[in-house]
Structure 1
Amino acid sequence: MSERINLALGFHIHQPVGNFESVFEYATRVAYNPLINALNKHPKIPFAIHISGPVWEYFEDKHPDIFESIAAMIQRGQCELMSGGFYEPILSVIPPQDAKGQLEMMSDYIYEKFGVIPTGIWLAERIWEPHLPTILKQADIKYLAVDDYHLKSVGIENEALLGYFISENVGDEINIFPISELLRYTIPFAEVDKTIDYLRSIADQSGNRLIVFADDGEKFGLWPGTENWVWKQGWMEKFLSALENNQSWINMMTFSEVQNILPPLKRIYMPTGSYFEMSEWTLPPKLSYQFHKFVQHLEETDEIEKFKPFVKGGFWRNFLTKYHESNWMHKRMLWISRQIHSRKRRLNTHYKDALTALYRAQCNCAYWHGVFGGLYLPHLREGIWNNILTAEKIIETHAPTRKYLSQDIDKDGNDEIRLNNNDVIVWISPTRGGCIEEISFLPTNTNLINTLARYEEGYHKLIWEAQHSEEQSDEHSSIHNRVIVKEAGLENKLQYDWYPRRFAQDHFMLSFTGIEEFARQEYYELGDFVNQKYEFIDKHIVKNELDITLQRNGGLWFEGKKFPVVITKQIKLAGPGNHIFIHYEIENRSDWRDFLFGVETNFSLLSRDDPKRHFEFPHESLNRIHPGARKSFLAVDGYELIDEGRKLRLSCRCQCDGVWLLPVETVSNSESGFERVYQQTCVVHLFRFNIGAGEKFKTEIMWKLEHL
């Protein structure tokens, strides 16, 4: 009997909620359509494919011909459709009822369009947690695929991986297909012969061995360098033809066919995990860099496979600790989920619309960051916030919440405060400097503080190494192996924030501090107010006004000595007119005299150069000032922010001795290389005053929100 190997092919196609339509179209043109057409031309190559909800919706609207191609391949038994959470959530970090709802939404969609019921899923980012079988069982899911690293971490290696397995949680079982890491790196990045030779090396006479390739469809044209390699140089045609020409010993099967013919090898229990690369990305910066260099060392000494079962970094939930903004977005999504489900009867016919917006807000991409832009891309965060607030607006219109709420939303052990007038939602964090965590304007579904601080990343050290390295990346190598810097001198733009950039953050600076030092975070912070706890003092709730009073007995610190200062801060949401007032009373309890006090605010404006978004300082400049400008003004009594794209105007009134306006930009990694990304515009309201011990300084800043 000749040696044979069974091969299951799987493809995953996804674009995030909030991504630009031009990206959907470009990905379809260079990757998705060519891939589907190529498979359609090779009817003897069975495969499974998962297409996420956002892409299904785009295909249905713009490329209905793709439905026809897929339907034809299903009809002839070539194509197996895989399910998954419709909007590609991380199933383990959303409420179980939402996970079940998303899975059923996808299965119902596939049945409606193609008349088949999927029994397997693509697990978003292959993020496995041990309780998942119970969630999947409730949605009638029989199998999924995860990286073979999951199994290697429990001692299943080499030939022992050549099959599929069964796992369970409290008796709820699921079949597990291990995805070959080697095939993930040879397909499509190596010559076809290398893949065929590897398949030949693992074939045996039993005919029972199985190997799985399942990975991103974007690798076939969208990833840098792959369009030319895969399509113009003919890699895909060579690959599919090679599989056909070797069908005497390469037996191609779908996942369902495998389960009908072969039994699972054994029962296994896997720890939490994802693909190997993510275990590096989730770590804090220092550990992330050390992990990267350690793995690099193991690869250079050819010891990686020997020691990989013992090499484990973090897991996905660490992103919620690593990035404050990710955790806030995630916990707000969970809060909205609870509000929707608890109001199902009151929402009545609007429940489904709220639920759809919630599901869209659970799309995973903007909640984390690795080699993909993810959280660092403002438009992806905007997509999440737009849907959170769409759901919140439905709730406030048809089943309103209370005007005032004090509750620990972000699960840090401290209450946040929510003020709500049905148009504007203000979330305040007393324990984080008494700052405003979120200002959401429901008429436009906009969170004005969709910001991101400048975080140190483990890969930042690689930028310098890449700038000074003589090695060149292969133009069609995997993005996991490419180090490309898109802008000369990028390492000189690495600046880090020591606090999350939010709204109404209180600074005391030396009197000669300038905008440049503040922008680089190289100034001396005298006060202990920016990220420290304010005490809740009082609240008032009347028909059109909501206000809270916070206070901190803090101080200025200089040369090891504390100079006591008390800030009393009243935050008011008033209507009609959607005004936000912040009243400050600063009492000096020391012999310090000369004060430079700054109230930092940050506005998420998506682009540094978009002509539809600009500031106007009518008494200081006749010019429109774009979000990416760095400006310093003296004696300012107000300004306006006009956002024509989101159809809102924000007007500020104050009596400031100065205002600093500066963009906040991060340096981050992406599929195409290291790049600088505009995150938000910071506006610092400056007050200079001289008061003695026991004296007080008072001021007020007002912002008005309007729908254009």
Structure 2
Amino acid sequence: MPGYFVFAIHFHQPTGQLKKVNDRIFENSYKLLLEVLKEFSDLKFTVHVSGPLLLYASEYYPDWLNELAKLAQYGVVEVLGGSLGEAILPILPGEDRDLQLREYMRLAEKVFGLKPRGAWLPERVWEPGLVGHFARSGIEYVLLDDSTLQRANKASSDSLYPWLTEDAGSRLAAFFIDTALRYVLPWEHPDRVIDFMKTRVRGLDNPVLVWGSDAEKFGEWRDPGWARWWLREFLNKLRFEREIQTIHPSEYLKQFGVKGLVYLPPGSYDKMLEWSGGFFRNFIVKYAEVNNMHKKMLWVRRKLERAGGGLEEAWRSYLLAQCNDAYWHGLFGGVYLSHLRQAIYENYIKAERAAEEAAGYFEEEARKLLLEDFDYDGLDELLVEGKDYNVYIDLRDGGTVFEFDVKRKGLEHNLQDTMSRYAEPYLEGAKFTPDWYRRVSARVHLWSTDTGIDDWLWNTPFKDLSDLALARHYLTHMDKEGVTLRATGGYYVFGSRVAEVEVEKRVRFLDNGFAIDYAVRNLRGGVVRAKVGYEYHLAPKVDRVGEGELSYSVGGSRMSVRDKYVGRASSVRVSSPVYPDVVLSASRELEVWVAPLSTLARTEKGLMEMYQGLAVQFVDQVELDPGREVRLTVETRVAW
């Protein structure tokens, strides 16, 4: 009696992927795989193409999609459904889970001419509450990882059968991807892989061995020539193998049914469980930037709901912004990839603007000032919303600007979409000090007089002599023109509090940006001798289609965003080939530090430095007696 083999290939590139990367992978991997599937059309394959990639291929590679659709119609390929945005379903509102699955189903039917019966679960992140959502969308089965079944106290051999699970009366069959097989296929010689497969299924009644993983393993992660040889060798042997037969999941269910009933705990594949500490939602807590995107999603959804119907394009942008890749980090760049975060905000802002226009959001007032617990930390943030831009201020975290959304049509972009440096396990032993605060804008420091640009960038300890940088700010005044924030803190020398210092920020709203009038006052105590630092970070828009370079101008010089600058100036102009210039200007000339904000992150190619934005700090050397103050105004403008 033979064992059965489900060969499931997952094709995915995320929302916002660089065009040159997509094109390279199509040439190296996806076209190669299509050729192999056609060559071995006597075998059976299971394929999932993610929603973002389906949309990309429809525009740039329609012939590839047409050929794949023919294989599906001929019965060579069984197409899996999924979510339109390749979103991590458990972290979405319930209605969005249904919408993601339903919209993917519509797209798949349009592209492939058939309705998928099974589904690929993004990153195989499973929670029991998903059962009803899949069932309502018409999905009969899903592919999970065997670690999820083992966490339900099942034996290793139990994962060689599909099981039925239910929730509130809804039913769903689950097949389990074999972790051990993923670690040998395609990394071992085809003969050894097939021997492993035969050993795995031998002696069992109608077992089904499931391999499900990334298409890029064939031709992208390793040489295309090797991938072509490996696949042909492996599949040619499978053609004549009596102990292992290829099968589609739906065909297996029809012939043999399920093993029985099981209730599955939250889970994913082994590495994701390791990276997330066992629970995917931990990423939302670990990374403030992930939390920001997730809560932006919830905020935009409220506006879409209020706007009513007729916003299909806005809802599609919203669903594509839920694409999973930038909401976590493990082996790949994930949240550290700035172009992916950029695309997420672009899509959320497009959806937000459309919802506001449909609802007449600004008909009664041109600007809204709202106190809302935006980030769900238990304290209100200040949200300033206008037709052309939003400015979000975190009162708890140093009175900083943590989001600056440009909403003009064609210019949708979050200029504050920068990334802080975090302690990662793989960075132990590296010359690296994680950030002790979030790298956003309008943070005030009192640096020691010997502090330099590298101390600031790479977090030399004990250089900030005050606690103002992290001080909770209080809203003391609000009107149509702006708001006033205040915070007090200490100035310390060798750990002793020498003076009490107040920071006042008057945030004014301009037509094309915002200005902050700063006042730093020595309220009482001794003399304050320090460098007052007014810190900003900007995320220039990356050219995801071409390869245009980012640059900045300061002090009469034009430089790459990867270059440092220290000198005296009153403004910094940041330029992108695909976006209007953004200008930071101070009310007087003073010392300016400019440098790339970079992170170290592990990728499939090892540790890499990843550009995250441009760090700018205006620095004022002061000596403040009690009762004295220093003032500065900094404007942030978009030159549209």
Same fold, judged at TM 0.5 (above)? yes
Aligned residue for 2:524?
589
Q: From 402, 405, 415, give the equivalent of 2:370.
A: 405
Report matched runs for 1:145-160 at 5 Å. 145-160=143-158
Aligned residue for 1:264?
258
Say whether 1:98 aligns with 2:96. Answer: yes
Q: 1:607, 1:627 within 8 Å by CA — same for their partners in 2?
A: no
Q: 2:541, 2:579 within 8 Å by CA — same for their partners in 1?
A: no
Q: Describe the superposition over 1:378-427 as per-residue Cα deviations: whole angstroms up to 9, x where unpaired.
A: 11111111111111222333332661111011111111111122112100
Aligned residue for 2:567?
633
Report matched runs for 1:548-627 at 5 Å. 548-605=483-540, 612-617=549-554, 620=555, 622-627=556-561
d(CA) in 2 for partners of 1:209, 1:587: 76
Say whether 1:273 aligns with 2:267. Answer: yes
Question: 1:522 deviation in Å?
Answer: 0.7
Query: How many residues are matched?
Result: 630
Question: 1:243 deviation in Å?
Answer: 1.0
Say whether 1:383 aligns with 2:343. Answer: yes
Aligned residue for 2:585?
652
- Report SS of the residue matched to 2:558: coil
Aligned residue for 1:22?
20
Q: 1:656, 1:686 within 8 Å by CA — same for their partners in 2?
A: no
d(CA) in 1 for partners of 2:136, 2:64: 31
Aligned residue for 2:331?
371
- Report SS of the residue matched to 1:37: helix
Q: 2:147, 2:269 within 8 Å by CA — same for their partners in 1?
A: yes
Question: 1:113 deviation in Å?
Answer: 2.5
Aligned residue for 2:227?
230
Say whether 1:495 aligns with 2:433. Answer: yes
Say whether 1:343 aligns with 2:310. Answer: no
Q: From 389, 405, 412, give the equivalent of 1:424.
A: 389
d(CA) in 1 for partners of 2:312, 2:138: 22
Aligned residue for 1:531?
470
d(CA) in 1 for partners of 2:159, 2:73: 32
d(CA) in 1 for partners of 2:82, 2:538: 35
Which letter maps to 2:307? Answer: R
Question: 1:611 deviation in Å?
Answer: 6.4
Instruction: Let me know the Cα RMSD of the aligned residues.
Output: 2.0
d(CA) in 2 for partners of 1:134, 1:75: 28
Moved more, 391-400 or 661-670: 391-400
d(CA) in 2 for partners of 1:118, 1:89: 18
- Report SS of the residue matched to 2:127: coil
d(CA) in 1 for partners of 2:261, 2:439: 48
Aligned residue for 1:676?
609
Question: 1:690 deviation in Å?
Answer: 2.3
Aligned residue for 1:117?
115
- Report SS of the residue matched to 2:36: helix
d(CA) in 1 for partners of 2:590, 2:490: 22
d(CA) in 2 for partners of 1:398, 1:584: 41
d(CA) in 2 for partners of 1:648, 1:57: 31
Q: 1:18, 1:380 within 8 Å by CA — same for their partners in 2?
A: yes
Q: List runs of 5+ in structure 1 lacking aligned partners.
A: 283-312, 465-490
d(CA) in 2 for partners of 1:644, 1:172: 51
Aligned residue for 1:475?
none
Q: From 304, 315, 324, give the equivalent of 2:288.
A: 324
Say whether 1:504 aligns with 2:406. Answer: no
Report matched runs for 1:21-100 at 5 Å. 21-100=19-98
Q: From 300, 304, 314, give the equivalent of 2:278.
A: 314
Aligned residue for 1:513?
451
Which letter maps to 2:588? Answer: Q
- Report SS of the residue matched to 1:113: helix
Q: Describe the superposition over 1:253-293 as per-residue Cα deviations: whole angstroms up to 9, x where unpaired.
A: 101111111121121122212110112222xxxxxxxxxxx
Aligned residue for 1:447?
414
Question: 1:65 deviation in Å?
Answer: 2.0
Q: 1:587, 1:695 within 8 Å by CA — same for their partners in 2?
A: yes
Moved more, 601-610 or 354-363: 601-610
Residue identity (%): 28
Do the aligned partners of residues 206 and 671 (structure 1) sit closer, same or farther apart at CA in structure 2, a change above 3 Å counting? closer
Which letter maps to 1:694? Answer: G
Q: Describe the superposition over 1:558-614 as per-residue Cα deviations: whole angstroms up to 9, x where unpaired.
A: 223223434343343424344433332424321123232101100113679986533
d(CA) in 2 for partners of 1:648, 1:516: 26
d(CA) in 2 for partners of 1:696, 1:560: 23
Which letter maps to 2:587? Answer: C
Question: 1:361 deviation in Å?
Answer: 0.6
- Report SS of the residue matched to 1:403: strand
Q: 1:4, 1:205 within 8 Å by CA — same for their partners in 2?
A: no
d(CA) in 1 for partners of 2:18, 2:271: 26
Q: Describe the superposition over 1:20-47 as per-residue Cα deviations: whole angstroms up to 9, x where unpaired.
A: 1111111111111111221111122112
Moved more, 637-646 or 328-337: 637-646
d(CA) in 2 for partners of 1:133, 1:422: 40
Say whether 1:240 aligns with 2:241. Answer: no
Question: 1:237 deviation in Å?
Answer: 0.2
TM-score normalised by length of structure 1? 0.85
Q: 2:542, 2:578 within 8 Å by CA — same for their partners in 1?
A: no
d(CA) in 2 for partners of 1:585, 1:509: 13
Do the aligned partners of residues 658 and 255 (structure 1) sit closer, same or farther apart at CA in structure 2, a change above 3 Å counting? same
Do the aligned partners of residues 211 and 577 (structure 1) sit closer, same or farther apart at CA in structure 2, a change above 3 Å counting? closer
Which letter maps to 1:336? Answer: V
d(CA) in 1 for partners of 2:516, 2:486: 16
Do the aligned partners of residues 571 and 61 (structure 1) sit closer, same or farther apart at CA in structure 2, a change above 3 Å counting? same
- Report SS of the residue matched to 2:444: strand
Aligned residue for 1:176?
174
Question: 1:145 deviation in Å?
Answer: 0.7
Do the aligned partners of residues 407 and 701 (structure 1) sit closer, same or farther apart at CA in structure 2, a change above 3 Å counting? same
Q: 1:588, 1:691 within 8 Å by CA — same for their partners in 2?
A: no
Q: Describe the superposition over 1:161-186 as per-residue Cα deviations: whole angstroms up to 9, x where unpaired.
A: 22111111222221110101111111
d(CA) in 1 for partners of 2:512, 2:337: 32
Q: 2:307, 2:356 within 8 Å by CA — same for their partners in 1?
A: no
Q: Describe the superposition over 1:51-81 as per-residue Cα deviations: whole angstroms up to 9, x where unpaired.
A: 0112112222222222332232222222111
d(CA) in 2 for partners of 1:445, 1:15: 22
Question: 1:630 deviation in Å?
Answer: 1.2
Aligned residue for 2:212?
214
Q: Describe the superposition over 1:313-337 as per-residue Cα deviations: whole angstroms up to 9, x where unpaired.
A: 4221111111111111111112111
Moved more, 36-45 or 11-20: 36-45
- Report SS of the residue matched to 1:674: strand
Q: 2:522, 2:625 within 8 Å by CA — same for their partners in 1?
A: no
Do the aligned partners of residues 698 and 72 (structure 1) sit closer, same or farther apart at CA in structure 2, a change above 3 Å counting? closer
Which letter maps to 1:96? Answer: G
Q: 2:9, 2:47 within 8 Å by CA — same for their partners in 1?
A: yes
Q: 2:33, 2:218 within 8 Å by CA — same for their partners in 1?
A: yes
Do the aligned partners of residues 640 and 65 (structure 1) sit closer, same or farther apart at CA in structure 2, a change above 3 Å counting? closer
